[in-house]
Amino acid sequence: MVKNKFVSDYQINASKKIVFHYLSSASGLEEWFADEVKIDEDKNYIFDFDNEEHYAKLASLRLNSHVKFEFFDPKNPVDTDHSYIEFKLEENDLTQTLFLKVIDYSDVYDEDESVSIWEGLIGRLKEIIGG
């Protein structure tokens, strides 16, 4: 399948530390991103979307700055072209404005669907953090 890379920036009016919790922890992600998020004994994240489980490894993490989840099929460990979601917190030095950069590399949606989905998700995140 052909994968698409969706990249977008969203202004967030909250501190990096507060926002990062919602991007990197199972409990934080569960509040806005997925129906349920669990971490198994191998430290894999299990995201539940509409009663369908999606497995991901925490591919990289930089405290209060960046987190990347690489999705994989536990039944097909040889697959190498993994979908991933990456969140980057970037601050404008001049204005001190915080932006959340979302990078979604997947084969699920086209550009218009991705825009709609992420605007809804980020809207929910902003409601929770008040930003």
First-to-last C-alpha distance (Å) of the chain = 37
Separation CA 115–CA 44 (nearest Å): 27
Residue 57 and residue 41: Cα distance in Å, rounded?
Answer: 12
Domain ranges of the chain: 4-129
Give the separation between CA 73 and CA 80, rounded to whole angstroms: 10
pLDDT at 82: 85
Position 80 scores a pLDDT of 74
pLDDT tens, N- to C-terminus, the chain (131 residues)? 678 899 999 999 999 999 999 999 999 999 999 999 999 999 999 999 999 999 999 999 999 999 999 999 888 867 777 899 999 999 988 888 999 999 999 886 678 888 999 999 999 999 999 86
Closest CA to 70 of 54, 79, 52, 82: 82
pTM of the entire predicted model: 0.91
Per-residue pLDDT at 121:
97
Cα–Cα distance measured from residue 64 to residue 17, given in angstroms and rounded to the nearest whole number: 5
pLDDT at residue 81, rounded to an integer: 77
Look up the CATH architecture of domain 4-129: 2-Layer Sandwich (3.30)
- For residue 8, CA distances in Å to 27, 100, 103, 105, 124 come to 24, 8, 7, 12, 16
